[in-house]
Amino acid sequence: MARREQLASLLRRAGGTTAILAARARLRLPVLSILTYHHVCDPGSGYLFDPDVADVAPAQFRRQMELVKRHFTAIGVDELLAGLDGARLPPNPCLVTFDDGYRSNLDVALPVLRDLGLRAVFFIATSFVTERRLYWWDRIAYLVATSTRGTLELTYPRPMTVALGDRAAARAALVAVIKDEHGLDLERYLTGVADAAGVPWTREVERRLADELIMTWDEVRQLRDAGMDIESHSRGHRVLQTLDDEGLRDELDGARADLAREMGRPARVIAYPVGRTIAPYPKVRAAVAAAGYRCGLTNASGVVPLWKRKQLDHLDVGRVALDRSMSDDMFLAQLAIPQLGYQRQ
- Spatial contact of 277 and 254, defined as CB atoms under 8 Å apart: no
Strands 229-232 and 121-124: parallel
- ∠ CA(227), CA(300), CA(66), 5° rounding? 40
Tell me the C-alpha distance between 23 and 337, whole Å. Answer: 13
Amino acid at 139: R
Tell me the C-alpha distance between 235 and 253, whole Å. Answer: 9
Q: Please name which of 137, 163, 133, 136 lies closest in space to residue 149, comparing C-alpha atoms.
A: 163
Strand partners, 152: 162
SS (H, E, C) 42-87: CCCCCCCCCHHHCCECHHHHHHHHHHHHHHCEECCHHHHHHHHCCC
Tell me the C-alpha distance between 42 and 64, whole Å. Answer: 15
Amino acid at 328: D
Full-model pTM: 0.96
List the end-to-end C-alpha distance of the chain, in Å, as a whole number: 17
* pLDDT at position 341: 62
- Spatial contact of 99 and 37, defined as CB atoms under 8 Å apart: yes
Residues of the chain with confidence (pLDDT) below 70: 1, 340-345
CATH node for 2-131+214-340: 3.20.20.370
- Spatial contact of 239 and 165, defined as CB atoms under 8 Å apart: no
**Dihedrals φ, ψ of 247, to 5°?**
-65, -40
Alpha helices in 198-320 (DSSP H): 203-213, 217-225, 245-263, 282-291
Tell me the C-alpha distance between 322 and 311, whole Å. Answer: 26
The answer to whether the Cα torsion of 80, 81, 83, 87 is positive or negative is negative
From-to residues of CATH 3.20.20.370 in the chain: 2-131+214-340
Strands 317-319 and 160-163: unpaired
